Structure 1
Amino acid sequence: MTEMETDYLIIGAGAVALAFADTLIEEDPDCHITLVDKHAKPGGHWNDAYGFVALHQPSATYGVNSQEFASEQVDDHGPNKGLHSLASGAEVLAYFEKVMNMRLLPSGRVVYHRLSEYRGKTESGESRVVGIFSGEETRIRVRRKTVDATFYQTSVPSTHTRSFSATDDINIVPPGELPNLWRNPASLPQHYVVLGAGKTAMDTVIWLIQAGVSADSISWVRPRESWLWNREHVQPGEDFFEAVMEMQIATLEAAHEAAERGADSAEMMRILGAKDYFLRIDPQVEPEMFHYAIISRGEIEILRQVKNIIRHGRVTALSPGALHFDGDEVSVPEDSLFIDCTASAVPFSVNDNAGPIFRGDTIVLQPMQIPLVVLSAALAAFMEANFEDDEARNALSAPGPLTDKPSTFAYAQMINTMNRGLWSQNPSIMGFLAKSRLDLTTGTVVGLMAKESPKLAKLAQFRETAQRCMPALIKLGTQAKAVHEAG
């Protein structure tokens, strides 16, 4: 058994953990950090993701504050043309490995326990870390705080447990197996059945079509339709500033309009959808889901090529030539390849560990700006290093809910807007955000102010709209909070 000491023990080494560590060593030059993670490399769930996975938000607003992605240009081709590039999964993993090996470890103030598991505390209060392969135990005395970076419990297709049964003779794979089909071209499937309605399923359908599979050879089980963020309105930089502000203004006005009608948060999303701030694959079907996925119009057009959409709820079982649902059955070609995209990336429910972010000797990293989880983690590290006590920190960092339905959307928007309003009154936080590559707008505003740009008229319009419409957003958000907490 080995014994050691550290100031901060961070459980996890994924994006959230690394964003926190990166900011903390910058803001607190005397602290020592230890990271513990089960994976062989930094990057968390990215290690387990399917090979063709990519970011759906711009690379320029992902990762850690100190390190840009190698390629952060605007795409000039493909379905993302005209928008900031999206790093592939391989690029994301390489990025995080660089952050660890060229930023954190060389500082001399970071220790990284890979392939290790946190096993709680001993009776004397030491943290137990056990090597997965070696079985060797390290006991760590944490001088300051334990940082829980596992709140999001991210699941991917290759590691999740299926919620349906399948007979032994069913050909079913996770999406990560698709790029390996070329190895046996003589036995390529003649039909593909995609199971799931989330972003993984969308990525899979796009990959199949771009790989040359006919859209007529794809059946897609979509139990629910989803609202999708139009990527045009979540772009960083001065060129996109007005489009970003237009969406923020429209969101507030939609809340006001929905409240005036006596409607709910779902109506707010319908209003935004009618103006193309949110998109949907099938314009004839009312979306029941919103998981914060971001998409381009080009990707939507590819997805609409698939016409064989199966809407019978969730699959309960698979058998040769058949999909089984509660009380229903749908036939498919017997040689179909089933692709399981039913893993939920984040458990969109009331998390048992939800609550204040700062809890004495523990920090539970949660979103202060949904869905900007890495910005939230970096900001939590800044607050830890620069504010005197948890009362002051928690007053500025209300954790946002991981809502999943249109009817609860306003709750998250209310928390986002209220937190931003508090930060705007705090010079130290605004100074941090102005320098943060992870923040979508603050640094851009500073640059525009230096130029006295006419684009700042949109910011003035936003402020006026916020003052006028905030009561309506709070009303809808409070109603949505009750819906969310009721499940």
Structure 2
Amino acid sequence: MIGAAAMAFTDTLLTETDATLVMVDRRPRPGGHWNDAYPFVRLHSAATFYGVNSAPLGEGRIDRVGWNSGHLELSSGAAICGYFDDVMRHRFLASGRVTFLPSHEYGPGGFATSRLTGSRTILHARRRIVDGTHADTRLPSTHPPSFPIAPSVRLVTPDALPGITRPATDFVIIGGGKTAIDCVLWLLEQDLPPERIFWIRPRDSWFYNRKRMQPQSDVAAGTIEQYVIDMESARDAKNIDDLFRKLETKNALLRIDPEVTPTMFHCATVTEAELSQLRRVRNVIRKGRVTAIEPDRIMLEHGEIPTGRETVHVHCAASGVPVRPTEPVFQHGRIVLQFIQHCWPTFSAAAIALLDARRSDDAVRNRLAVPVRMADRPIDWLRGELASRENEALWFAEPDLAEWSAGARVDGFTRLFLAAEKSPDPALRDLVSRLEAASGPGIARIRALLEAAGGTDYMERSAGSAQNGV
């Protein structure tokens, strides 16, 4: 699957080596799940550090209108697909070192089978197979509901929302993840009264405050402050609940309903303006997951609610990025692309390619690239912070890797900290000093909190029982 991670890996490998590559994708063009996404989808983090390292995405502008106003621009799904198509054509294929097999399935025995003609191509990797499917995103448009639906029920996926031509009495949003949030915000943008939206939200989520995830020098203070808040809150936390209270009090983490304790965390971001809009929807149903939709009622795990023939039900309950057990990145004859920095897919993939190019021993490579499992529950915030900071410490102890990070577009944050250290602004230098003072105690406290919660065993059990999307 040639999604963002595979593209970022290939781009860095082309820069660092003289390798040749064959890229196989079941879709007709690169971009992975972005090709299947709904038309109003946008990145939920800044475009400036998404994509491949060699080519900028977007213009680095600050939005001046809308609910993202004051923050770095968020590229649309269409723009991202066009970007990856350009990278494939003008960077990868033009290099003469990349062969692209679109609309092909890669299967046992090393065969790439065309989905159009059925012809098979045998592929022999001189070095390794690179597996980019570990974080294969599942969307409503490609993964139908797991519950039965009566034939007369109006049920659509998010990509069909803009094409609705028959008016609806109301809308039921099914799911509590980022897709559901996008659909609610889109409906509100169309001036739909919030009382006509019913939101089945089995799990509430913690969100990053996008204001504090801005990798650009003119908005650097809020970004550096996020790291300071994370470490100082961890250092001073009495327990895990106290940690999340501190993070929320300082607006580092946000939730929609202040009266409901979130049980989900998927690395998503929102602005405070978006949060204000989401809170306008008061018809929130918390009776578990949908088990069936009948013509006059929606059956849930813990009850039912009425519905009607002119109600549009929006399926946002696909599992998103599956939570899978991690495995070594570098294996015999194989590289498995995974996060090695919490919530950073393209940086992680590019960094893995760099290690493949600059280190010759797999034991050394794996020591510098310990996988971070995809987040699902709030405790995964702690696990991700711990693993990321430990990876970062190892990485920055290697001069060539540290130098690469400082100049890498897909990093985005390292250069902010380096610039802040030399800044004439005393407020920025003070933030850096506070971070240096809090990081050691903060990481030690996160480790202690995890151990008190059951340590590694607890985290692996949470992966086995995770339910994404809703």
Runs of 4+ in structure 1 deviating by more than 6 angstroms, as ranges, are none
User: Structure 2 vs 1, CA of residues 221 and 178 (structure 1 numbering), >3 Å: closer, same or farther?
Assistant: same
Any idea what SS the aligned residue of 1:301 has? helix
| Residue in structure 2 matched with residue 169 of structure 1 by the alignment | 152
User: Deviation per CA, 1:238-258, whole angstroms, max 9, x where unpaired?
Assistant: 122221222112212222223
Partner of 2:449, secondary structure, is helix
Distance 1:104 1:452, change over 3 A: farther
- In the alignment, is the contact (CA less than 8 A) between 1:412 and 1:477 conserved in 2? no
1:89 counterpart residue number? 77
Map of 1:159 onto structure 2: 142
**CA apart distance, 1:320:** 1.6
What value does the CA root-mean-square deviation take over the aligned residues? 1.5
Aligned to 1:401: 373
Choose which of 15, 18, 37 in structure 1 pairs with 2:4.
15
SS at match of 2:222: helix
Q: Which of these residues, 476, 482, 486, is aligned with residue 449 of structure 2?
A: 476
Quote how far apart the aligned CAs of 1:464 are: 1.4
Contact 2:58 / 2:75 at 8 angstroms: preserved in 1? no
How many residues align? The count is: 459
| Cα distance change of structure 1 residues 448 and 245 upon mapping to structure 2, 3 Å threshold | closer
What is the CA–CA distance in structure 2 between the aligned matches of 1:257 and 1:465, rounded to whole Å? 10
Q: Which residue number in structure 1 is paired with residue 402 of structure 2?
A: 430
Pick closer, same or farther for the CA change 1:445–1:453 going to 2, 3 Å: farther
Separation in 2, partners of 1:245, 1:115: 43
In 1, Cα distance between the equivalents of 2:380 and 2:183? 28
The residue number in structure 1 matching 2:131 is 148
- Structure 2, gaps ≥5 residues long: 463-470
- 1:160-215 per-position Cα deviation (integer Å, ceiling 9, x unaligned): 1312111111110001101112xx3xx31121111111000000000011012111
Secondary structure of residue in 1 paired with 2:258 = coil
For 2:466, the equivalent position in structure 1 comes to: none
Partner of 2:260: 285
Q: How does 1:269-348 map to 2 (within 5 A)?
A: 269-348=244-323
Deviation readout 1:52-84 (Å, 9 max, x if unpaired):
111001000100001112332010111001100
- For 1:415-438, what per-residue CA distance to the aligned partner results, in whole angstroms no more than 9, with x for missing partners? 011111111211111111111111
Offset at residue 445 of structure 1 (A): 3.2
**Counterpart contact for 2:141–2:159, Cα < 8 Å:** yes
**Once the 2 structures are TM-superposed, how far is the Cα of residue 452 of structure 1 from its aligned partner?**
5.4
1:230 corresponds in structure 2 to 209
Aligned ranges for residues 72-471 of structure 1 at < 5 Å?
A: 72-121=60-109, 127-181=110-164, 184=165, 187-258=166-237, 261=238, 263-264=239-240, 266-348=241-323, 350-351=324-325, 354-448=326-420, 454=426, 455-471=428-444
**Could you tell me how far apart the structure 2 residues matched to 1:245 and 1:346 are?**
28
Q: How many angstroms apart in 1 are the aligned matches of 2:202 and 2:46?
A: 28
CA displacement at 1:128 relative to structure 2: 1.2
SS at 2:412 equivalent = coil
Whole-angstrom distance in 2 between the partners of 1:218 and 1:170? 17
Partner of 1:6: none
Alpha-carbon spacing, 1:482–1:256, altered in 2? closer, same or farther (3 Å): farther
- Residues 72-98 of structure 1: CA deviation (Å, up to 9, x unaligned): 201011100110000000001001001
Residues 450 and 251 of structure 1: CA distance in aligned 2, closer, same or farther (over 3 Å):
closer
Q: State the identity %.
A: 34
Letter in 2 for 1:20: F
Deviation, structure 1 residue 307? 1.1
Q: Distance in 2 between matches of 1:291 and 1:160?
A: 19
Helix, strand or coil at the partner of 1:235: coil
Scaled by the length of structure 1, what TM-score is found?
0.91
Q: Give 2:221's aligned amino acid.
A: E
2:33 equivalent to 1:45? yes
> Separation in 2 of the partners of 1:329 and 1:196?
16
The unaligned stretches of length 5 or more in structure 1 are 1-11, 122-126
CA contact 1:19–1:374 (8 Å) conserved in 2: yes
2:15 is the alignment partner of 1:32: no
Larger displacement relative to structure 2 (238-247 or 98-107): 238-247
Contact 2:405 2:414 in 1 (8 A): yes
CA offset at residue 412 of structure 1? 1.2
CA distance in structure 2 between the aligned counterparts of 1:383 and 1:327, rounded to whole angstroms: 49
